[in-house]
Amino acid sequence: MRAGWYERSCIGRKYKGGETMKRRRLWLIVLLAVYLTAVWASVAIGESTHPLAVSVESLKQNLDKPGVIIVDIRPAEDYQAGHIAGAINIEVDKLQTKSNAILHPVSKVEEILGSSGIDGSKELVLYGEGKEKAFLALWMLDHLGTSNVRVLDGGIEAWKAANGKMTSDARALPATTFRANPDPARYATTQQVLDSTKDPNVQIVDVRTPDEFKGEDIRSLRGGHIPGAINIPYEENFQGEGTVLKPLDELEKLYAAKLDKSKNIVVYCQTGTRSTNTYFILRELGYNVRNYDASWIEWGSNFSLPIENATYYNFAKVNKTLKELSAPAAGSSAPSPEAGKAEPIAQESGTTRTSGVGPYILAFIALAVAVAALLRRPISEVKMPRTSSAKVS
């Protein structure tokens, strides 16, 4: 006997209701999968207020993520003593000259990166120790056209503090070919910086300490700063004395109060290392910024270049110290307590070194730099330094 219209309608509703529930469940599964994929992707690029940085927690969750290469840029001995699990080692100092910390020619950098397994197609996460070197490596790669590069916020210090996985097992990638595509808009030459001192559309940022900026801490043949430069120490980018960056919105307020986003920015320090951290921040904030690689170690030693708040390295003090140190050898009295102390010259990091042989080394460096400076121009054209602070035009 055929079912009546009421029974048929009830059966139909049950059938349709079951199909509808199945479809809803299917759509929920699809949406959940899409959501999880999006979350996974966001973790891969790093959950951080800094778009060019990766948080420690994000990296912890993605140590074995395909397509991500973790690069330890510290010296080989530090890498061998213990590094983040899965990281390879590329010493950033090998990408630049030893004498004045200038980026090597592109062909040499291509060879080093290619032999280390870097081809530019994968995401790179860089980390180091301290506040500077990882950002130096990022600037180099950014200048060379490698866009998918980030740094580990806080470096190895933050990783250890969070009990991140460490190992002493070295990892090496198969050699490949790295092809650079240098972006001149990321690199400032000395001539470009000199031209910028007369360009109202360019702002120059000195990221060194206030004492270096004022010429009280001399680390080249001359102290002082590039004319018109604005002093914003790079330490202001970090939380307290640590290696973790301040939130980006806080840094945006700091730089917006001192810089004009419509102008081109040049950053510099002593050797173009500390300045790469400020370069990193300004890049994130959308400024058109370039790093002056040669920085003060070259500018301060070239007497043809103008400076403000000019001071000069005290050669008389070095000469006096050398005489005092040589006195005991000639049978004279012992050197005074001040012997062995000297003012800093051509140093990138904090403290002045004082030791018995320190003045000899400093004198040799000073003379070598002086000769290099003189060789830039005929002797007749070089103005010799004065003994007092003055503005050099």
Which amino acids are annotated catalytic? 269
Give the start-end residues of each E strand in the chain: 53-54, 68-72, 83-84, 88-89, 123-127, 149-152, 166-167, 187-188, 202-206, 222-225, 230-231, 264-268, 288-292, 307-312, 390-392
The conformation of residue 145, written as its DSSP 8-state character, comes to T
Bin 295: left if φ > 0, else alpha if -120 < ψ < 50, else beta: left
Q: Which of 175, 172, 150, 177 is nearest to 86 (CA)?
A: 172
Other C-beta atoms lying within 10 Å of the C-beta of residue 54: 26
Whether the CB-CB separation of 365 and 346 falls below 8 Å is answered with yes
Q: Is the dihedral of CA 185, 286, 133, 238 positive or negative?
A: positive
> Distance between CA atoms of 48 and 43, rounded to whole angstroms?
9
Q: How far is CA 203 from the centre of its chain?
A: 20
Phi, psi of 390 (to 5 degrees): -160, 160
Other C-beta atoms lying within 10 Å of the C-beta of residue 131: 22
Residues 6 or more apart in contact with residue 198 via CB below 8 angstroms: none
Residues 6 or more apart in contact with residue 76 via CB below 8 angstroms: 89, 91
Beta-sheet pairing, 68-72 with 187-188: unpaired
Q: Which tokens go with 32?
A: 């959940």
Phi, psi of 328 (to 5 degrees): -60, -35
Amino acid in the structure at residue 102? I
